[in-house]
Amino acid sequence: MSSVGQVLRVVGADALILVDGKPVSALCPKMLKLQGLCAGDYVEYEFDASLNNNLIGKILPRKNHIDRPTISNVDNAFVLVSEVPKPDFYVLDKILVNLGIENIAPYIVISKQDIVEDNFIDIVKSQYKNCVKDIIVLSALNGDGLDKFIQLTKSKVSVLIGQSAVGKSSLLNALGLQIKTNSVALKVGKKRERGKNTTKNSQLYLTSYGALIADTPGFKMLDLENLEPEQLSHYYPEIRECAVKCQYSDCTHLPNNEGCQVITAVQKGKIPVERYDRYIRLKNAIQKKRSFYGK
């Protein structure tokens, strides 16, 4: 008789699965590895006497799945940004699009509140307040803002996403876990402030207050060439809202389209001009990549 568990991590053939609130080890056959078995997956497994271990037999249907970082069945995604390391808003936009494709409405977390300037918080809020569920400001160092994060993650499966050294593992440590963190000393304005990847694999952790939260490795590269360029506006909630109202059915919403609802909204400040400019940049990049691959 097989039982069901939820994968916390997979490294090589070794998996850790959550069964009745307890982590249990299990083996992952190569076949399932090829099928992309990952943290968050629900699996059927049974004890195999010859292996003297649990053996995973099957991945159960997923409610959602993201590739970067690799995780399935998430309720909430928290995308971390901070002033240190210097944020790349173009990459942040791509992460939000990638989550939108999977129908996951993300939160933005401004981390390291103890060192970020108010001005930075204002910039993030003005550009992103209309395209994410909420923007949370917190510090793993002094605990500010953790209450709200705890409320939002309780009894849910969440994932932390963001570039290396933004403070993903530190946030989990502030919630009582013990994870290795990036030792690179980081200060505002320092040049070499990017840090190297400390977390190498996505892993779900069970917190003492009953949340499952995935720590994931930071990344900078994210290609979206599987997306039709015409579909891109769909994943910018504030642009989508105006694009559907645009009177020109085949409008590209480019700056030279006079009377376009999107352009009018940018001019009125309803759509942040920075977000719009990066949207055009991303649309062009996707177009270029697709024509290179003959798509």
Ligand X SMILES: Nc1nc2c(ncn2[C@@H]2O[C@H](COP(=O)(O)OP(=O)(O)OP(=O)(O)O)[C@@H](O)[C@H]2O)c(=O)[nH]1
Choose from Zn ion, Mg ion, ligand X, none: what does 283 bind? Cβ within 5-8 Å by kind. Answer: none
Q: Considering beta carbons, is residue 4 or 254 the nearer one to Zn ion?
A: 254
Kindly identify the residues of this chain, within the stretch 129-158, that bind ligand X according to CB under 6 A.
139-141
Name the residues that contact Mg ion, by CB under 5 A.
Answer: 168-169, 198-199
Choose from ligand X, Mg ion, Zn ion, none: what does 70 bind? Cβ within 5-8 Å by kind. Answer: none
Q: Which stretch binds Zn ion (CB under 5 A): 40-48, 133-141, 200-208, 242-250?
A: 242-250
Binds ligand X by CB under 6 A, chosen from 127, 153, 158, 181:
181
Choose from ligand X, Zn ion, Mg ion, none: what does 253 bind? Cβ within 5-8 Å by kind. Answer: Zn ion
Kindly identify the residues of this chain, within the stretch 27-56, that bind ligand X according to CB under 6 A.
none
Q: Considering beta carbons, is residue 220 or 288 the nearer one to ligand X?
A: 220
Q: Are strands 42-48 and 14-19 parallel, antiparallel or unpaired?
A: unpaired
Binds ligand X by CB under 6 A, chosen from 38, 77, 136, 165:
165
Taking the complex as a whole, how short is the minimal distance between the CB of residue 264 and Zn ion, in angstroms? 9
